[in-house]
């Protein structure tokens, strides 16, 4: 059977199509100011099947796509166990929030914590810091990895951190040092969030920020343990949704999305 999972995050929307025990299609697109239109595009020409949605936008699509919704915590728990069966702890750093989830040995949610109402330490924070340094996200990570001597950045508020970075550049501090300092400050924040849920191996690191190898390395250093980054860390929530949709006994008949594709804006990325 076919089942679909949709994760409508604050920055990116992810789609996973699950068929007979395997992921057969994944799509991602920026959320934009019209997430519903983006969802329609992502669902264009996908095979029929039950759909479950998660993410901040889930309630937006619930009625429109006539689908079930699930909290991100549960979606990530299911998705992480699917890619890493022995997973007991999940760290997800997305565009606008960070979550830490601990699971019991049999995969049930034990505890969870999310950062509050603030972009500190999230993907958005990293983007703003990279821009302040005049670097692309890729170069920002590469520069940080090219040095051993960090310059600590103390502010965690996005606005204050940005001005701290700018004044540090003005004092002549080398950019790589600042870049590493930023990564380390996020890593230590992340570790305290993780410690609130009690960390047990194995740890899965998901979300867009998990694509940043320097972040992974610094978190591992601060934590004193290894973390596993799945091959496509951004789709874990959507994968969890697809798995849940596949498990639903009575598949909800979804609307025919294809009829609803009206907009032809920016085509979704397919992989």
Neighbouring CB atoms inside 10 A of 92's CB total: 28
d(CA 228, CA 47): 31
**Residue nearer to another protein on the CB measure, 56 or 125:** 56
CB of 112 to another protein, least distance (A): 6
Stretch that binds another protein, among 107-115, 140-148, 186-194, 263-271 (CB under 8 A): 107-115
Q: Does 145 bind another protein (CB under 8 A)?
A: no
Stretch that binds another protein, among 17-25, 111-119, 160-168, 217-225 (CB under 8 A): 111-119
Q: Does 164 bind another protein (CB under 8 A)?
A: no
CB of 147 to another protein, least distance (A): 35
Among 51, 73, 141, 227, binds another protein (CB under 8 A): 73
**Contact assessment for residue 181 and residue 143, using Cβ atoms and an 8 Å cutoff:** no
Q: Which residues contact 213 (CB under 8 A, 6 or more apart)?
A: 141, 145
Burial of 63 per CB tally in 10 Å (0-12, 13-18, 19+): exposed
Q: Does 59 bind another protein (CB under 8 A)?
A: yes
Stretch that binds another protein, among 109-117, 132-140, 162-170, 226-234 (CB under 8 A): 109-117
CB of 77 to another protein, least distance (A): 8
Among 37, 109, 222, 252, binds another protein (CB under 8 A): 109
Q: Does 117 bind another protein (CB under 8 A)?
A: yes
- Binding residues for another protein, how many (CB under 8 A)? 15
Q: Does 110 bind another protein (CB under 8 A)?
A: yes
d(CA 237, CA 137): 23
What letter would DSSP give residue 182? Answer: H
Q: Does 114 bind another protein (CB under 8 A)?
A: yes
Here the tokens at position 231 are 């091959």
> What is the x/- site pattern for another protein, positions 11-50, by CB under 8 A?
----------------------------------------
How many Cα atoms sit within 13 Å of 10 on the Cβ side? 13
Question: In 3D, which of 261, 265, 264 has the Cα closest to residue 46?
Answer: 261
Q: Does 63 bind another protein (CB under 8 A)?
A: no
d(CA 232, CA 242): 15
Cis peptide before 202 (omega within 30 of 0): yes
Neighbouring CB atoms inside 10 A of 203's CB total: 24
| Chain positions contacting another protein, by CB under 8 A | 56, 59, 70-74, 97, 108-110, 112, 114, 116-117
């Amino acid at each position: 059977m076919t089942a679909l999972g949709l994760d409508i995050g604050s920055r990116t929307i992810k789609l996973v199509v699950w068929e007979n025990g395997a992921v057969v299609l994944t799509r991602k697109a920026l959320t934009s100011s019209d997430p519903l239109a983006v969802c329609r595009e992502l669902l264009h020409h996908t095979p029929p099947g039950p759909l479950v949605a998660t993410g901040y936008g889930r309630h937006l699509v619930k009625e429109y796509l006539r689908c079930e919704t699930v909290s991100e915590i549960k979606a990530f728990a299911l998705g992480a166990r699917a890619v890493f069966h022995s997973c007991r702890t999940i760290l997800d750093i997305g565009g606008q929030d960070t979550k830490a989830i601990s699971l019991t040995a049999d995969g049930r949610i034990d505890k969870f914590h999310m950062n509050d109402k603030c972009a500190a330490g999230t993907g958005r924070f990293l983007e703003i810091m990279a821009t302040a340094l005049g670097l692309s996200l890729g170069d920002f990570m590469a520069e940080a990895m090219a040095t051993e001597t960090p310059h600590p950045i103390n502010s965690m508020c996005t606005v204050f951190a940005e001005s701290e970075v700018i004044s540090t550049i003005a004092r002549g501090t080398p950019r790589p040092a600042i870049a590493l300092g930023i990564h380390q400050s996020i890593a230590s924040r992340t570790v305290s969030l993780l410690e609130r849920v009690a960390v047990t191996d194995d740890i899965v690191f998901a979300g867009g920020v998990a694509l940043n190898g320097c972040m992974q390395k610094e978190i591992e250093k601060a934590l004193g343990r290894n973390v596993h980054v799945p091959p496509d860390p951004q789709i874990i929530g959507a994968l969890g949704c697809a798995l849940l949709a596949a498990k639903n006994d009575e598949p909800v008949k979804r609307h025919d999305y294809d009829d609803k594709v009206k907009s032809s804006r920016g085509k979704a990325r397919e992989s």
